[in-house]
Structure formats: C-alpha cells, structure tokens
Structure 1
Amino acid sequence: MRLRPRLSLILLCLLMLLMGGLFLTLALVWAPDKSVEELKPKWAPPPSQFIQLQGQSVHVRDEGWQQDPVPVLLIHGTSSSLHTWEPWVAGLKSEHRVITMDLPGFGLTGPNADGDYSDTVYTRFILSLMDALHLKRVILGGNSLGGEIAWQVAAAAPQRVEKLILVDAAGYPLTPLSVPPGFRIARIPALAWLMDYCLPRVVIERSVRDVFGNPEKVTSALVDRYEAMLLRAGNRRALRQRLSQLNTGGDVEQIRQIHVPTLILWGGKDRLIPPDNALRFQQEISGSKLIMFDELGHVPQEEGPVVTLAAVRIFLQ
C-alpha cells in the first residue's frame, strides 16, 4: 500500500518530463506565418515591384535594357521564387530586358483566392502578365514547374514565344529517384497540416540539398531564402493544394506541337526529374538542342550559374 503514492509520484514526474519535452520540441520547430510586409525589406528591395494582376499583388522584377524588342521572361519552380534567377539576370541584363516573377502560391505573391494552381491557370497567368507588361513576344524560360508552364504557353500561344529555354522541366510522367522531404510531408494528409504551424529548418535544408548535385554547395543563406518563402502567409497551404492538383503527363501530346527554337538544359544528377526526361524533350521538340551538365542537379541555374548562363547567352545570340 505504501508503494502506490510513490509510484503515482514517479508516473506524474515522468508525465511532466514527457510534456516538457513535447513543449520544448514544439518551441524549437514552431514556425508561424510571416506577412508580406515582414518579408519585403529583405526579399523585395528595388528593383522589386508589386503589380495588381488577376486580383493579386504579384511580385515582379523588370530589369535591364527596356528597349529590348523581345524580352527574356523566366519562371521559377515549385516552392521557389524569382530569386532563383538572380545570377542569370545579373549576367543578361546588360544586353536584354529580363523579367522574373513569383508565381501564385509561391514567393511573395502568395496564394490566390480560389486555391486553383492547375497548369491551365498558370498558363493564363503568364499570358496575362505579358499583357499587363505590354509584351507581344518573349524568350520564355522556366525551371521544373516553371519549365512545364513555359512549354505549355509555347504550345498554347506560339505566336507570343520567340524562343524557349527548358531547365529540368516537368511535363512527362515521373519516376523520381528521390523526392525532397518537404514535398513528401506535404503529400501525407495526416502530417501535412502540421506544416502550417511547425517547419523544422532541417527539413528545408534537406529538401534543398536533395535537389543539388553537390549538396555541399547549399549555404545557410540559401536555406534562409527557401525558408522565408515557405513562411510567407498562405504558401504552405498553397503548396499542398498544388501538389494535389498535379497533372504530370496529362498534356504531353502538346510537346510535339512546339516548333519554336528550344534550348534544353539539364542537370545530370537531377534525381527529381531524371535526365531521361531531357532526352524525351529533345526527341519530341523538333530542332531542339540539349546540353547536359553532368555534375549539376535539379536547379542548375542556382548550382552552376556560370556554365548554364554561358549556354544561354550563346543560344540568345
């Protein structure tokens, strides 16, 4: 009988330790949303601007030679932002007008009102952006999701695309060799809702490292940027919605209809969209040119900006 109070005390202490550990863990990974106004000073300095388009305030940068008759328009990938193109923009803007933006659902643009992030909606968005900026024709480039949007715009409105640059572009049915941890969590309903409140930095870092050919190139500053863009209010929910609306491979018949000059750049160590996809793009887009960068991963414009930009500059000439 004397042991029962002592046993109860021990159990109570263990419970308190367990609860304390849980609260400490939550405190370490707690990551509430951040407003655009909080993020703007660091991530949207000049020449960033925000334009009203389709009921949203869209984060845009319009740089370089403003008299360029055919500007370069670059589209980022899933969970990325216009910042992914900064090295290319720095190298191109002395000779070209270069426009980058944050797509709806990502970056500082953030979620749209109806939660529709289908390929059709993104295609209309790019054409609407071109109209708003009075761009009759562009050289259109994109990475991953951005590449998929780029070729769909070229297929839907070929008269508005002079050249096409596909960088590890999505489009064909996928069999990834590896999927970033953040994407895997976002697609598990039982865990995905936690992302709205908890976002361990280690998950972001591992996700970024997963898409690099050489993970040692991933810096703390780079992880800071991806983390900030995910924390933008509404973006985590938008990511879940986008991943649930994937139609990868659903419109591949359009690829054969593309007849604009096309440059295909690919990382030979891309494990998310493996290099055999690059070969298929080359086969199905008549006259296209493929350059494989054996040591780079899924975002070669970030991991190897010098060599990838050199290929782009030759193509633009």
Structure 2
Amino acid sequence: MDKKNYINHVTKGEGHPLVLLHGLMGGLSNFKSIFDFFPKKGYKVIMPYLPIYNRPLFLTNILDLSKYIIKFLLKIHIKNATLVGNSLGGHIALIIAKTKLNLVHSLVLTGSSGLFERSFGDAFPKRENYEYIKKKSQEVFYDPKMATKKLVDDIFHIVNDKKRGIKILYLAKSAIKYNMSKDLSKIYQPVCIIWGKQDQITPPKVAISFHRLLPNSELYWIDKCGHVPMMECPIIFLKILEKWLSKFHFNQKNFSL
C-alpha cells in the first residue's frame, strides 16, 4: 500500500471530483466507462480500492470501511465530491454523506444496498459447486453472458478462500444490520438514482424506496439492465449521469459520446 496516499487508488483528470466506490464482489474495472469518459469532460475521477480483504476481522464492517474512505478523502484533500456508489459502495456513500457533510456535494446510487439486498445469503451454500457460483454470478446481470468465465472464476476463488469468504460474510451481515431507512430523510445532498429495471439483487422496489425517502433525489431507469448498470449499459448510464451533473455547472464542456 502507498502509505503516502493512504489507500490504493487511481486518479485521472482535473476538475470536480467524482469518487467511485465499488461493491462487495465488484472491482475497479466495473467503473471503466466512467473512468475513461469523465476526465475528458473536465472532471477528476478517483477510484479507491476498498480494502475488503486486508483489514483485521474486527474492522471488517461497513461503518469502519466508511471511516476508512473518509480518512482517505481527507488525506488527499478532497471536499464537496460527488460519490458514485454501486451496491455496497452506494451504502458507504450514504454513510459518508450522513457523517461528513462537507466531503459530499452529491451522490449517485446504482444498485445500492442500505435498505434491502439479495446476496449469497448468510453463508455460501454449495460454494464448492462451480455451476452454483456461475448461476449466482449471472443473476447480477440482465444478460447472463456478461458473467464471463474470468469473472465467475474470480468469484469462485474468492468464496472458496476461507479468510476472504469469512470477511465477505462479515461485511454482508454488517450491511444488512446497518439499515438506513431512518437516516435517509437527513441526507439533503442532491442524489441521482440510476437503476436497472431487471435488477435481481436490489430489485426496482428498492430504488423506489430510496427515491421516496431521500429528500432531494431523482430516479432514472435503464431497461434490460441488472445490478451494475455502469458496466452492463455504459452508454446509457453515462448519458444520464452527464446530463444530471451538468445542472451543477461544474464545467462548460459540451457532452458527446
């Protein structure tokens, strides 16, 4: 780990900061479309790698992970950022917005946990069954072909690694325990909710609940799309996000894809 920068991350561009927060079983590659596009439009894109597997077990929970990201943002002198969170990353973004108001200008939630999320469950049944893991991986997407062999292999190895598997369970349970239904009314920053209509992990009713409970939110749907819209439908996702961000006049560059 780069001690100077506190946490492994990649940065590109200059301008208003977009901080990308990936999910529990996700990675930085999930945000490739955002990382490639927005620096060209006058934004500074920052992608921290969430230290899910290399923290002590007693610190493996969503609240401590949120504190870790807060320390990282303070360390690199980021304020008034737009936090873009998918799944667990969206949950972390909400906690940060509630906890450190000056760090967060706005939020973008896509397939976010925090209210309800279907996952592998309280344990990993049949974790040694490759076909079972493949099926669960495919459920993340509308198009099952998006669950490539490499992606399934990676997940299969993670859940069959005892140490990493235990940490995933700890984080998943802590996310379920830290339900934010009573906190959302206190989050007044602008929130853009972009949701896949066919999301099986955080179903459409979850997006509707977020929209109802967050005072300053807008909800956008992407059809024929699952739990990771920025990965499965990147062009549509980028158009929605760029148009929403443009209302804040962070930059004057014209939008084009």
Short-chain TM bin: 0.7 to 0.9
Q: Which residue of 2 aligns with 1:128?
A: 71
Q: Greater helix percent: which structure?
A: 1
Is 1:92 aligned to 2:38, yes or no? Answer: yes
CA 1:300–1:311 in structure 2 vs 1: closer, same or farther (change >3 Å)? same
Distance in 2 (alpha carbons) for counterparts of 1:133 and 1:268: 36
User: Could you tell me which residue of structure 2 aligns to residue 187 of structure 1?
Assistant: 123
* Residue 212 of structure 2, aligned match among 260, 263, 283: 283
Q: Distance in 2 between matches of 1:288 and 1:274?
A: 18
Q: Distance in 2 between matches of 1:235 and 1:151?
A: 25
TM-superposed CA distance for 1:222, in Å, is 3.6
Structure-2 separation of matches of 1:212 and 1:289 = 23
SS of equivalent to 1:238: helix
**Secondary structure at the counterpart of residue 112 of structure 1:** coil
Q: Give the match for residue 2 of structure 2.
A: 51
Distance of 2:4 and 2:212 partners within structure 1: 36
Q: Which amino acid aligns with 1:61?
A: V
For the pair 1:263 / 2:206, whether they are aligned, the reply is: no
Shift of 1:224: 4.8
Instruction: Give the superposition deviation at 1:200.
Output: 4.9
- For structure 1, the 5+ residue unaligned runs are 1-49
Q: Percent identity?
A: 23
The answer to whether the 8 A contact 2:61-2:170 is kept is: no
User: Higher mean Cα deviation, 138-147 or 241-250?
Assistant: 241-250
**Structure 1 residue 119, shift from structure 2 partner:** 2.5
Answering whether residue 12 of structure 2 is matched by residue 63 of structure 1, we say yes
| Structure 1 residue aligned with 2:99 | 156
> Which residues of 2 match residues 1-317 of structure 1 at below 5 A?
50-52=1-3, 58-65=7-14, 68=15, 70-94=16-40, 95-105=42-52, 110-174=53-117, 176=118, 179=119, 183-184=120-121, 187=123, 199-224=128-153, 226=155, 234-248=163-177, 250-317=179-246
Distance verdict in 2 for CA 1:306–1:230, change over 3 Å: farther
Where 1:61 maps in the other structure, the secondary structure is strand
The one-letter amino acid of 2:173's match is S
Q: What are the ranges of 5 or more consecutive residues in structure 2 without an aligned counterpart? A: 247-257
Instruction: Please report the TM-score for the alignment, with normalisation by the length of structure 1.
Output: 0.69
Aligned pair count? 245
CA shift, 1:248, in A, is 4.4
Q: TM-score, normalised by structure 2?
A: 0.84
Aligned equivalents of 1:200, 1:52: Cα separation in 2: 39
Partner of 1:242: helix, strand, or coil?
A: helix
Which structure: larger Rg? Answer: 1
Deviation at 1:111, TM superposition (A): 2.5
Per the alignment, residue 249 of structure 2 pairs with none
Is the partner of 1:276 in helix, strand or coil? Answer: helix
Question: In structure 2, do the counterparts of structure 1 residues 120 and 260 end up closer, same or farther at CA, with 3 Å as the change threshold?
Answer: same
- 1:73 is paired with a residue whose SS is strand
How many Å apart are 1:282 and its aligned residue? 1.0
CA contact (8 A) 1:111 1:234 kept: no
Q: 1:233 to 1:80 in 2, by over 3 A?
A: farther
SS of equivalent to 1:71: strand
Q: What is the rounded CA distance, in whole Å, between the counterparts of 1:315 and 1:257 in structure 2?
A: 22
Once residues 219 and 135 of structure 1 are traced to their aligned partners in structure 2, the CA distance between those partners, rounded to angstroms, is 35
CA–CA distance in 2 between the matches of 1:87 and 1:123?
A: 24
